[in-house]
Structure formats: C-alpha cells, structure tokens
Structure 1
Amino acid sequence: MRSQSSWFFLFLIFPFFINSQSHNHKTRINLTGKTIQDLQKTGLAFDHGTYIPGVSFTGIFSHEELETLSSHGFQTEIILDKILSPRQSPVSCDPKISNTPNYPLPLNYPYGSMGGFPTLQEMNENLDLMHELYPKLISERKPIGNFRTFNNHTIDVIKISDNPNVLEEDEPEILYTGLHHAREPLSMSQLLYFMWYLLENYEYNPEIRTLVDSRALYFVPCINPDGYEYNEQTNPDGEGYWRKNRNPNFDGIGSDLNRNYGYQWGFNNNGSSNNGTSDVFRGESSFSEVETKAIKYLCEQHEFKIALNYHTFGNLLIIPWGYSNVSTQDSSQFNALAQLFTQHNHFTVGTSFNTLNYEVNGVSDDWMYGDTKTKNKIFAFTPEVGPSFWPNRVDILPLNKSTQFMNVMAAWNAGAYADLEDFSPTNLNTDAGTLNLLVKRSGIENANINILCTSNFSGLVFDTNPIDMYVDAGSSKMTDINYHFNSTPNIGDSIELSFKITTGNFIKTLVVKKLYVGKPIWSESCENINQWYAPSNNPFVLSNKNFTSSPSSYTDSPGSNLIPNRKYKLKTVFPIDLTRAKNAYLSFNAAWDLDVEGDFAQIQVSADGDNFDPVCGKFSVAGGAFQDLNNPVYTGLQKQWVSEWINLDKYKGKSIYLQIIMNTNQSEFPHDGFYIDDIKVFSTSLTNTSDLNTEIISLYPQPTRHELTIHTRGSIDCSQLNLETIDGKNVKSSCQGSSNEYRIDVSNLNSGVYLLKYNTKSGHREVHKVIIQ
C-alpha cells in the first residue's frame, strides 16, 4: 500500500480528468478514526475511487450523495483538478508506443444524444442496424429466455460469428456484458464500438476474419435497461446517477445487480448491504432479480470460456476472488490473461482487495468462475474503464479505443493462444549464437505450439527449425534457438528475423531486426572495477552469485536486500572513442528487483564526463514521481536476465563516458537490487565510410590493460603498425595475427593515451587513439 504522502503527490500529478459539469463532484472524504465499514453504512457505493485506510476515500459523488455523507457526520472536501506541468524531460522515449494497435472509428459507430452516449432506444436501433447490414455475421437481438424486467424490458443477447444463427459447439464461446450499473454507459458504448469494428473489418482484415470464423462472440450490452432508461428520464443530457435496477424492495427501490449473484452472496455486510435503500443492496436473496437470472440462464445454456463484465471507472482489471482477499486456484492463468489484456492500456490488475482495498460479494465474476454445479468454469474479469461515470463527449473515442485490444485478446484466448517475446540482444556479433524467445501461453484450450524461423539473410541458418513445444496454461517457457552463419554479413547490415507461431487457429508472426556489428570497440566483463570510478561511500561492487558470464557482475548490495535512501554510482575513468562512428550502440545484460514507486536504476551517457543524460532502452520505462520523473529508468521486477540495447547515435563523432546510477527509497517490502554484466560498446564506424582506403575497422578493448586487438578489413602488414606515445616515441612490441585480426602486447606499457599509426597500401596514413590502463 502506498504511503499517504506518495499517494497525495501522485494524485496531484496524475488527476482523474472528470466531467467538469457541476452535478457531480470529485470529493475527498476524511476517514480519520473511521473505516470503510463506516462509509458503507451510509448506503452509498464505494467501489470506485481511491481508498487509503484511516486517511481518506476519494471518488465522484452527486449533490444528493454529498448531503447523505454530511448527514452521517463525514467531513468532505471538493477537489478542483489541477494539472501540474512536470519538469521538462530532456529525454523522451517509449518503445511501446509504436507497437500499440490502432482501432479506427467504425463508420457506423453511434454517438448518442445522452451526453454523447446512446439512449436505450438508440442502442437498440443501432444493434438492429448491425443485423440489417451484416445478417451473415451477426444475429438479431434476441431476448434471453422469457425474462422481463420490472418495467417489462427484455434482456437481449446478440451473437457475432460466421454462423450467427446456429449453435456452434466446436467453437470457443466468449461473453461480453455492459451496464450492470445504470450510470456506467461507457461499459456499453465500447462494446458497440467493438461490434462495429468486427463487422466492418471482417472482409478486409484477415486476422479479424479468422477470429470471427473460429469463435462465437456473445454480447449483452445492457443488463440493466430499467435503470439506464431511468437515468435518461431524469437526466436526458447525461449525468444520471442511478445505479441499481428499478425493482421495488422492502425498503425502497432497486437492487445492485453486481451484488445479486449466487456465489458467496451475502458473505458479509462489508462487501454488500442488506439495507434496501443502499446503493449496494444485494437483493432479498441470491438471483432474486430478473436481470441476474437472465445472465445465469444464458451462462447455463452455453460454455463460455471467458467473460468480460464491463464497468466504469478507475482503469482497473479486476479478477476473482471478490468476496475474500485470497487468490483462486487458477491465479496464474488469470494473471497471464490479465497481463496480456492490459498490455497496451496499462490498467491496474488485481482482485477487488488488491485494486480497491476492500472486498465485494455476490459479484458476477465470482459466480461465473466459482459456481460449476450447473455450468462450466468461466474465466471472468471486470474491466473498470475510464476516469468517471460520465466522461466528456470528446473523451469517449479514446476511452472506447482503450478496451479494444482487450476485447480482441479475450476472444482469441477463449481458444488456443500463445505469444512470443524476444529476449535476445539486438545485435549479432559472432559466427554462431543463440536467440532467446519467451513463449507465453495464456489460451484456455490446450494445443501444441509450433514456431517456424526464417531470415532475410540467406547466410544465417537456424540449427533446429521448426520448433514444436507444449506450454502449460498460464505459464511461460524460454526457448533457445541456435543459429550460425554460412556466410558472414557486412558490419552494419540489418538482418530481419521472422518467428511464426501457430497454435490451434491462432497464427502470429513476430518480426525482429538485428544488426550485425562485429566485435565491440569497448567492453567490460565486470570482473573488476578498474575501468570505473566508484565513490567510496556507496559503490557498486562485484557479485559472484548472480551473473551472465563468470565470475561476476556489478550490483549495489550483494548478499543482502537494498538499503533505503542510498545513491550508488559508477563512472568510466577513460573516454570511449566514437569520433569516427557512423553508428554506435551500447549493450549490456541486466536483472533487477526494485520498488516500482521509489527505487530506480539508470544508464547515463556524457560527452564531457560531467553532464550526463539518461538513455533509452528496450526495457526502460518512464520514471515516476519519486524517481527521475518522465526520464528512462529501470524499476519494478525483472528477475530473469535481459539483454539491453541502446542507440548511441546521438554521440557519434564524440568521445563518451558511461555512468550507472541506482537510487533507493523507503519501501515496505524487501528488494534485491540491480545487477549489470557484460557491458559493450559497438560501432559501425567504417562500414559505409566514404574513405575506401581505411583498413583498420576497430580496436578493442578500450581501455586495455594487457593486449590490444586490431580488427581490420583484410590482411595487413604488421610491420607498418606503429604504437606511439603522444610525443611520438615508438613503443610497439610484437604484433601477431592473420587474416583480419591482429594483437599487440601492451602489458608492459604505462597507463595513458597512445596513438596507433598505420600506412595503408595506397599510401593513406591512419591514426587511432589507444587508451592503456
């Protein structure tokens, strides 16, 4: 749990962008000396907002609800949102942005007359239009059973598939629902968006066609038509705040449909209420309401594998259990699915207690997953979308888009599904090597996984191809793909690798680009810190317990957990020469276990040794409020070593210094720290140079202590190599080698800067700087 101070600061920087109309207000309720149970006695709903035990609850409340809070003795403060301008970041990088899938606005998507959302009638007319335009892909609206609400509405279900009017027992079934709560229209609108997207793109998008052909997608966009219609009657322009259905009870009107399901119904009075006037009244008995009876009946008539029961708000993805702060037996599968679903919208994942700090009972997800007496087990989720119940019209489009990847992935994962992630270095620099691919299986149905590897460079050969494997549900497996070169590419060549994964009906191709960079111009094996300056008070030190290449790596606190409020630093003593670089790259291996809110590690580069800037990598993220705000950092948990790759083209033509820093903060939980190993700098300096007479391609390592290796374009005359001091004294000892690699022994030379000079066959004179340590 966050401390009060960190929550408040985050709240100021990342406010909810709520509707600015005056009917509803963002409010902080003072909970000093009070509990969430005291709040729940007011009869209001507190399942949307930020709860800090003993401190406050912040949410959106109507005038009437504020009066109720006041009558129960609660002190409240209306909050006016302010957007603070954070310090301008000198570095802007987010490698994930370019990979975010785009779901363009469907031509027929309906902006409605109720604050931008469709009314009940407008929604039904739009569903009817779908069937009119695409009768072969979507069924008519059909009532679920013979159920009728208190106001005589049906609860309608619609199916999208290549055979929408027949039961397809061989296809995985998925259920999408909206409007359990009448004041949450975005839960419905994003489903209409998704349905139109499928229908309008079926003919043109092969992935969508395969998805629709191989799945049966069922939609109940409005579970609570009475409550939704009532909000239209009271607030025709939007902002209606009625939550429950309209069925009278012994104390008042309405039951909370998402407290009326049968699994652990009425488990306690904290997660629901037995007071009929309460917004979270659970009903007089489990499934007492027609609306939940209809959903129960629908689930019993089908074999839904996955259900997304949409709500608003909070940008959360809630998983069972709701009734108690315990995990399910399938928690690994739930989490694998949830992490995939939220890959692009970054919703917070967890149980009700994890995300809201309290339990709820009688909810849809608990029943769908937990009750298997009359139906199969359903992996059910509750996405809480957006920043408010009634967002501004201008925000509806991006909020609708924010759930579409989730909707698509839910459909795929109802059957066989697996994904690939490349954990290999971006560079290829040897004649043979190993690529590391993480295979992640989240799909419900069991199926073998096949991976076919191809390359656009004919000289690269995969030793085993294709690869067949099996991965347990909710699990991941690292697979090593060995390769070798039959012919060597040119330094600087870009090589495209394709990995086609097939499991069941699902096919996906991961395309990665690798750069052939030859051997490094500078390297650090992390066996000692002789190339680095480390402050005596908080130095990085060697770890012989966790490394990628023996015998050690660099770390901050070997053999113990992180010490809070420390700043660790390592800085290269000598510059790394990129003065002749056409392109330059930094690579290293790293693993870390850091507090995601306060701790961070950073790789920095400087052209003068004094002014350092952080650099972006594949695994860096934007720093938070208690880190280097908005700049690239490494934080959170990455136990498995990863190969990082950083472009240094910004520094080509210069000599650079590297710096590794690690800052720790206070944390409630122990963390292991940051590990780094095998640090290398590559340069393609002479690959496409206009100076065709240049024959020396690279010198490494730089700095060197024992031996200098010279990588050349071809065979050279060793006698023409001269190593001199700055004042021109020749100090070269023996030169050995052949073909395109030569070595000079420098173990007897003093530390300092030297010049390597070479007269080419064409008479051109090359001069290269050499640093001896």
Structure 2
Amino acid sequence: MNRSQLFGGLMMLALLLFAVGGSAEILYHQIMVPMPSQSTVLELQAIGCDLECGSKMIKGEGLLIVVDELELSQIRERGIPHIVTISDMAAHDEQICLTNLEKIPSMQTLDHPTHMKYGTMGGFYNFQEIIADLDSMRLLYPDLVAQKVILGYGWDENPIYMVKISDNVNINEDEPEALFDALHHAREPGSYTSMIYSMWYLLENYGTDPEVTYLIDNRELFFVPVVNPDGLLYNEQTNPYGGGYWRKNRRDNGSSYGVDLNRNYVYQWGYDNYGSSGTPTSSTYRGPEPASEPETQAMITFIEQHDFTTAMTVHTASGVYITAYGYADVPPEHYDTHFDYMAFAAEISGYSYGTCYDIMYASNGRTQDHQLHFYDIINVEPEVGEDGFWPSIQYILPEAEDQLNCYFNQFWCAGGQVIFGALNVVDGFLDPGATEELVLEVFNRGWGESEAITFELTTTDPYVTLNAGTVNVNPIPRYSGADNSGNPFTADISPNAPIGHTVDFTVTIDQGGYIRTENVSLSIGTPVIYFSDNAEGGTGNWSLYNGWGTDNTQQHGGNFSFNESPYGNYSNNLTARMTLASPLNLSGLNSCWLDFWARWDIESNYDFCQVEVSTNGSTWIPLAGMYTVAGSGIGVQTTGEPGYEGSQGTWVHENIDLTAYAGQSSVWFRFEFKSDGGVVGNGFFVDDIQVLGFGGEPPVGEVSVDLTYVSGSPVPSGGGNLIFDVYVLNYGSTPVNYDAWLDIEYEGGAPTTVVQRSFVNYQPGWSINRPAMFYPIPAAYAAGSYEFFGRVGQHPSNVWEESGFPFTKSGAVDGSDFTPYPVVGAPDPFDQIIKDGVSVPFEFALEGAYPNPFNPSTTIRYALKDAGNVALTVYDVSGRQVVQLADGWRNAGSHEAVFDGSGLASGVYLIQLQTDKQTATSKMVLLK
C-alpha cells in the first residue's frame, strides 16, 4: 500500500469514527474575558482555569483561554464578563486535524530533517509513533543514541521513556549534562514534536556540522518526550485523529480524574489557591500532596541522579518563553542569565519572554521552580506556537523548527560557551607612529565551566603590523569573562596611517576544536569629542517630554544615568522623549558616531525605545545600532524600525554610526520611549553619552574659569573642608554649550571628576561667582599631595581652560595606588548663574545635608529657581515631624538651614523640601 492509499484509508476510518471521536467526556470551550482586571484574573485562577498553556492576551481585546464546562459554569455563577468564541474546542480542533490528515500527502518536508515526518494524530505523532522514532534513532545512529530507558510509569502502567544522545553514548563520561522534557500536559503535542525535531537535527548533522559535532562530542543530552503517557493515550482513545483536550494525568480522584503534573512538584507546592487548585475537578489540580504522582516522582528521581545545569520543559501554545519563578512575584536567582538565554531563544521565534509570574500568571508547584531552587538548573520553557493545541498542518514543523535556537542555547550552556566580548586599545586609540597594546575580552555565557581555550588576533591591514600570537586561557568559570591583559597583543601603527582609517581585525576563538571567528573594526587616531554627558550634571543638555530624568539606582559610571521613568517602572500608554536641547555642528567631519552605555527592561514585541536623528528638529529617523532589533508591528512597534526591547540586565556599550550626517551644521538626536497598555518594566537606562568623530577640531568656547584657594590645606588626617572662590564667565559674543567640572589628582595620577555640570545656551556675559565655596575631603583620602582643578569645556577630554591649586592632606601615607573619589552630597559651586546681575540657581534642588552622617548638627542646603512659599521639614522614619526649619516666602537663590540633633536619638531622618509646584526629599543620618 502506498502512502496516499494509507492516508485515504485512514481518512475513511476517521470519518466513520467522527462521532465517537468528538464525544469526549468533558466539553471544552474557548472564551474571551474582555480586558480582565487583576481581581478578575485572581477569580479565574481561584476557579482553577489554566491561564498559562494556550492562553493569550490579545492587546485591546482581552484574555483568550480554554475552560471546561465546570469552569465555565463557575465563571457564569460569579458574573465574570466573557464571550464564548468556540463552544466545543474538541470538535472544532478535530475538524482541523481531519483536514490536516487530508493534506499530508501534499506537504513538503524538504527543509526539515529527513526523518522528521507527520503523524496520524492530526499531523502529530501518537504515542506508538513517538516510540517508533526513538527506536529508529537507536537503529540508525547506535553510536550516538542510547537504548531508550523507562524512568517510571503512569497510574495506567504506561512507560515514561528517556533517550540519551552523546558520543560514547553507552559510557557515563564526565561531560556537562542537560535535560529536556515535554508533554507534562497531554493536549500539547507540539511540545514533543519540537523535541523530536531537535533530536533528528542533531543526529542527521553530526559529522558534517562543526557545531552539532562539538555539542554531541562534549555534552550528555537527555530527552524525555512524554512525561504524561497516560494522558496522551487517553486523548488518543477519545480523539484518535487529533483534537483531544485532556490535560492532566489519569489519577483516579474518586469522582474525577487527573492531577496537573506541572503543579505537583515539591518547591512551593500549594503556595496558594491561585497558582494551583486544591479541587480535584480543576484543570490545575495540584494533587493530594507534593510529588504525589508517579510521573513527577520519576522525573524528580532522575534529576537527583544527575548533575544537570540547564534544562527545557516544553509546553504549548502561548508563543512565549518563560522561566522561574511562577509561584510569586520573586525574581529568579541569576536573573541576568535567565533573560540572556530567553533573549537568545527569541531571536528566531520573536516570542516575548519573562518570568512565569510576570509574563503569564501565578503558577506554583512547577518543575522550573523546583529545578532552580533545589538544583540551580536554569530551565527555559517554550510555549510553542500561537495557533492553539492542534494547529493547521502548515504550522506544525515550522513551529518546531523555531525552537532550535532555544534547544541549542541549552545544549551549549550546559557547559561553557565562550564568545567574543570586546577588543580594546589599552591607552584608548590607535595613534599613527605608536606601538599600541590590544586586549581581547571573551565571555563564557554558559552555565558550566569552559574548557581551556585559545584565541588569536590577525589583520591584513597595510598600516598595522600585529605582533600577535596565540593566547592560552585557563578554563573560565560559568557566566564569567577573561582577557589577555596580562599578556596583551602589540601592534605597530604606521606613521603614515590616515586619521580615521578603519582597521579590520579577525578574532579566532578555539574552544575544544570548535572555532568561532569575529570581525572587529577599530579606527586610526584619537577622535574628537563633540558632545559628552554622563548624567552627573542633571538634564541641562536635554529637552524633556513626559518623564525622562536622572536615576541613581542604575549607573554605568558615576552616580546617575538617564531613564524615562526614574526610580520606578514605566507607565502604560507612555510616550516619553529626551531630545538634545541644542543641535550639534558636525560640519567638517569625515566620520562620526554616537556612543553610549545602556541596559533595559522593556516588554518584548510590544514596547520600544528608539534612538532617532534629525537635521531640522521636526523630521526624525530611527537609528540602528549593535543591539537594536526590528520592530514587530504590534504594540507600539512599527514594523521593521530599529529599537530596543526585552531585557538586557547588564550594561552594554552601544555604537551608532552617524557618518551619514557628517558635514551637517545642525544635528539633533533623541531617545524616544513608548509603551502600550500591557506589561511594564524598569525601562531604558542610558549613560556616558558621547558623539565622536574624525576630520575636524572641536570648537573652543570663550569661557573662562578661575579657582582661587582660600583655606583648608593641609587637610587634617580626620578630614576637612577646602575653601575656595569660583568665577566662570562667558566673555565671548555668542551663546555656548559647555561643561564645568572639578577634578582632583593625587600624586600626579589621573584626574577624578568630583563635581560636574552641563550648560546649554549659556549667554554672553553670564557668569558664576561663588566666593567661599567648599569641598569636603574625607578622612579616608590618602595622605600626600593633591591638585584641585576647575575646568571648562567638553567633559572630560576637551578642556578649554583650567584653573587650580595644590593642597596636601596629613596622616599616614597610603601610597601611589590611591584614587580620589567623589563625595556624595558635596556642594555644587556651578549651581547659580548670574544673569543681568541677578544670581539664579540652575534648578530647584534639595542639595542635602553636610556633613552626613553628622553629630550633633548639620547644614541643609537647597536652591530655588523661582521665588515662592517654602516648607523645609525634618521627619523621623516613622513619619513623625521633628522640626520645621523653613515655612514661608523665600527668594530665588541658594539657602541654608542648620539642623541641630542634640536632643535626638541616633538614626535616619528624612528632609522634605516643598514649594507650590515641586517636592524633593533626602536622607541624613545622626550618629552619636
């Protein structure tokens, strides 16, 4: 009998049995709950509805879920608004499955593994077909596939099979181990389909694909395609040609059947009645006790017998990646690693990702939570597909293929995966005629230790002679970096090398015979800094719209960064912009680029942050960088436009080419953040923003600075104040944008910026005149000689003018390795501008108390940009008012108030400054 005859016979039998197949014991429905509130979600969970697998939040419409007839009855009794969109899911999906079977003979599988076929259950394998594939793998690849092993049995005595793939497969080698399981829930055949797809892909490409060959040779991979055989076979019995909706195992509960196996694991089992149910008829029934089920016991025992570092537990069909924890709003240990792995998985599928609790709903007794808490296993769970549990046939294999990125990530990261990090010039840049030292950074993003590795650097550039060899690196611990800073490469740069010339390097990393190459480019010459802002001086360089400001909870350097929603999560339906206040003059440049550091937590696929450029201030063009992704076309993302989304938990160095705008006399750029009405996060943090270029000299503004010593040197060993006068003047005839800053240098070392402020549109004749200012030198500063400078220009490297004086500090000499550091709460001498003879503070500010900590008194300084009524109040930590230091009208300018804590107990006290328009708070500590 040929294949067409076989499926024709199957179709005839299917039609004869249609009535039997469609009459499952329980009726299932698809419903839409319009835009549910949090309380409605909790009600649905308390009923026992499954809000994880197969659920979908449709933006602007509501929550789409599958419920059985008992759950629907309770939804109606509670008056929860809903619309029944499909009245009989099994009958609906069975019709899809029958249509699938008709189409199988015409379906092409050429783009998929040769041995990956469609099955007889709506295009998916049934249980016997799964076993047949496992046996075929063993038969065809006996050196790579072990004989299937039975880990345990369901209540109906159906076996739970496991298969191992590795080289030397019959030997337990000391290699990293990874675990992959599927079908905890019986109605999710796409889960085991993706697993079998990945297994065939490995086997068929071994020996020809270097990556696959390395992984099989250096990993032990364990696959459990069906954790719930009883449930699968029950669906085969009720719906032999697909469309079965049974979810749980087949425990006999007396008046009902089944336990949700993914609510039956030990960690946080039964944490509450929202993330699982204690009612046996519920879809999320957790069982009578933790690990009560033989299937769960089998998996736990198997895990305890091994040393797994990564895992996947595969489900369907919500089109997301999730990770622990699900029982409560608790971030997982190694948060950054989890999100790194999910982001990598989503590069092909485009799925959203996050913790189970955040991106789905509360769910307790889960295998992911159990594995992370007890065994430190990083488990990524795909919810495969977005087209239901029994999708049309054209989705089955492509949805399985979409998960290869996720599988390969977990294959790799069971051990070490060493990737390129950065190539840095030790002294900053490749200068003509110089011999430069180059340091190569690599990173092991795996969750296991790497092998010892080697890497090398090469170039064919005629202007660079690279004196480089192979560098050997010891094994790198999990999720850690390494470099050759102890033995850097050296490069001789030709004196004739043109400024701005691009040098192409090739980095080669050899990890146990697997070769990775990376092409890296560096430029000849030291670029000119045309703009620089490190967020330490506030937001004066920017025009802000709807939320952007400085935030000190995350910073790359210094104390602050910029964020669209400082000190909290961004709001729904937000549009916020931070736009360069004055345009940059890039005329005369041959090349230029925007350089900054960033990290972000943005709902993937829906919310977006974009960097945009304009030459007229009204027409904006989005810019692509090394870390941008193409917009999805849903939520606020415009299809194909570049931007930032997802979670980047560590600071990354972004570089965006602006060469297309070199030669323009007016160039603005901005950061625009948008969110829709769904999930929120911490948003986009950006720091150390610079515009650099080649081909011109930076403009020098006509601004002078005078810093005059008054008193304080030598500073006592216990610390003290340097007293000085500051005078800054725009003596030119045009407005300027510039930075003013204070630097401290110790024993001839590099400068440390301790105060910095940026000015925009600083008019001719404006000045800063601050006599008897002070800077506190702490006791912890080393004894010895210092230089104290006031500088103006473009921070940090383009100094237009400087003025300063030496000072010394008494005490034991600490040696030349000491580096000065900024003192938190130190006063800012640049915070008042004299305009037309009137001194005006730069901005409303509660500058804090100094000293802080203090005993018994301290001085509280604040600045008012505008005159008005002021209340300055001190509270204790319980909120009780201690004293009101100011209450009434105050002129614009700087003000001080002394707080005396002589009669108070040690502790934290809160300062509140309030005007008619603004409020600011700060802390101070009384130590007795």
TM-score (norm 1): 0.68
Residue in structure 2 matching 1:569, options 575, 579, 582: 579
C-alpha separation in 1, matches of 2:321 and 2:166 = 26
Residue 83 (structure 2) aligns with: 77
C-alpha separation in 2, matches of 1:377 and 1:463 = 40
* Cα displacement string for residues 333-361 of structure 1 (whole angstroms, at most 9, x for unaligned residues): 55555555555545544443233242312
Residue 669 (structure 2) aligns with: 660
C-alpha separation in 2, matches of 1:231 and 1:357 = 26
Distance 1:578 1:61, change over 3 A: farther
Deviation at 1:285, TM superposition (A): 3.3
1:128 aligned counterpart, secondary structure: helix
Residue 383 (structure 1) aligns with: 382
Residue in structure 2 matching 1:109, options 107, 110, 116: 116
C-alpha separation in 1, matches of 2:290 and 2:649 = 44
Residue 238 (structure 2) aligns with: 234
1:18-33 → structure 2 map (5 Å cutoff): 25=30, 27-28=32-33, 31=36
C-alpha separation in 2, matches of 1:558 and 1:131 = 56
C-alpha separation in 2, matches of 1:345 and 1:312 = 14
1:513-662 → structure 2 map (5 Å cutoff): 513-514=520-521, 516=523, 523-524=530-531, 567-570=577-580, 576-577=586-587, 586-591=593-598, 600=609, 602-606=611-615, 611-622=619-630, 625-626=635-636, 631-633=641-643, 640=651, 642-646=653-657, 648=659, 655=664, 657-662=666-671
Residue 401 (structure 2) aligns with: 401
C-alpha separation in 1, matches of 2:252 and 2:554 = 64
1:736-755 → structure 2 map (5 Å cutoff): none
Residue 253 (structure 1) aligns with: 257
Residue 16 (structure 1) aligns with: none
C-alpha separation in 1, matches of 2:304 and 2:534 = 63
C-alpha separation in 1, matches of 2:323 and 2:259 = 23
Kept in 2, the 8 Å contact 1:547–1:677? The answer is no
C-alpha separation in 2, matches of 1:56 and 1:538 = 28
C-alpha separation in 1, matches of 2:195 and 2:653 = 38
Pick which of 476-485 and 253-262 moved more: 476-485
Kept in 2, the 8 Å contact 1:423–1:642? The answer is no
Residue in structure 1 matching 2:690, options 678, 695, 702: 678
Residue 365 (structure 1) aligns with: 368
1:88-237 → structure 2 map (5 Å cutoff): 105-144=112-151, 147-164=152-169, 166-237=170-241
Distance 1:435 1:341, change over 3 A: farther
Whether 1:289 and 2:293 are equivalent positions in the alignment is yes
C-alpha separation in 1, matches of 2:164 and 2:556 = 52
C-alpha separation in 2, matches of 1:290 and 1:506 = 42
C-alpha separation in 2, matches of 1:559 and 1:366 = 31
* Cα displacement string for residues 139-174 of structure 1 (whole angstroms, at most 9, x for unaligned residues): 233322xx443444221111111223x241422222
Deviation at 1:407, TM superposition (A): 1.3
Distance 1:109 1:675, change over 3 A: same
Kept in 2, the 8 Å contact 1:526–1:554? The answer is no
1:310 aligned counterpart, secondary structure: strand
C-alpha separation in 2, matches of 1:115 and 1:502 = 45
Kept in 2, the 8 Å contact 1:525–1:549? The answer is no
Quote the RMSD (CA, aligned, Å).
Answer: 4.8
Distance 1:647 1:110, change over 3 A: farther
C-alpha separation in 2, matches of 1:74 and 1:559 = 37
C-alpha separation in 1, matches of 2:398 and 2:448 = 29
Deviation at 1:306, TM superposition (A): 2.5
What letter corresponds to residue 114 of structure 2 in structure 1? L
Whether 1:47 and 2:61 are equivalent positions in the alignment is no
1:231-380 → structure 2 map (5 Å cutoff): 231-327=235-331, 331=335, 334-335=338-339, 337-342=341-346, 344-345=348-349, 347-361=351-365, 363-371=366-374, 378-380=377-379
- Which has the larger strand fraction? 2
Deviation at 1:243, TM superposition (A): 0.3
Pick which of 467-476 and 276-285 moved more: 467-476
TM-score (norm 2): 0.58
C-alpha separation in 2, matches of 1:449 and 1:638 = 26
Deviation at 1:399, TM superposition (A): 1.9
Deviation at 1:570, TM superposition (A): 2.6
Kept in 2, the 8 Å contact 1:182–1:244? The answer is yes
Kept in 2, the 8 Å contact 1:332–1:474? The answer is no
1:263 aligned counterpart, secondary structure: coil
C-alpha separation in 2, matches of 1:353 and 1:638 = 18
Deviation at 1:51, TM superposition (A): 7.5
Whether 1:430 and 2:431 are equivalent positions in the alignment is yes
Distance 1:381 1:127, change over 3 A: same
C-alpha separation in 2, matches of 1:538 and 1:262 = 46
Residue 701 (structure 1) aligns with: 697
C-alpha separation in 2, matches of 1:647 and 1:33 = 45
C-alpha separation in 1, matches of 2:50 and 2:440 = 48
What letter corresponds to residue 131 of structure 1 in structure 2? R
Residue 419 (structure 1) aligns with: 419
1:298 aligned counterpart, secondary structure: helix
1:174 aligned counterpart, secondary structure: strand
- Name which one, 1 or 2, has greater alpha-carbon Rg: 2
2:443 aligned counterpart, secondary structure: strand
1:197 aligned counterpart, secondary structure: helix
Matched pairs, number: 627
Residue in structure 2 matching 1:439, options 443, 465, 468: 443
Pick which of 490-499 and 262-271 moved more: 490-499
C-alpha separation in 1, matches of 2:164 and 2:70 = 40
What letter corresponds to residue 77 of structure 1 in structure 2? I
Higher relative contact order (CA 8 A, sep 6+): 1
2:315 aligned counterpart, secondary structure: coil
Distance 1:638 1:704, change over 3 A: farther
Kept in 1, the 8 Å contact 2:442–2:481? The answer is yes
The percentage of aligned residue pairs carrying the same residue is: 26
Residue 689 (structure 1) aligns with: none
C-alpha separation in 1, matches of 2:258 and 2:556 = 61
C-alpha separation in 2, matches of 1:360 and 1:333 = 22
Kept in 1, the 8 Å contact 2:598–2:684? The answer is no
Distance 1:333 1:598, change over 3 A: closer
1:311 aligned counterpart, secondary structure: strand
Deviation at 1:177, TM superposition (A): 0.8
Kept in 1, the 8 Å contact 2:182–2:191? The answer is yes
1:422 aligned counterpart, secondary structure: strand
C-alpha separation in 1, matches of 2:318 and 2:566 = 40
C-alpha separation in 1, matches of 2:569 and 2:293 = 53
1:59 aligned counterpart, secondary structure: strand
Deviation at 1:573, TM superposition (A): 5.1
Kept in 2, the 8 Å contact 1:451–1:501? The answer is yes
What letter corresponds to residue 430 of structure 1 in structure 2? D
1:461 aligned counterpart, secondary structure: strand
Pick which of 196-205 and 626-635 moved more: 626-635
Deviation at 1:665, TM superposition (A): 6.8
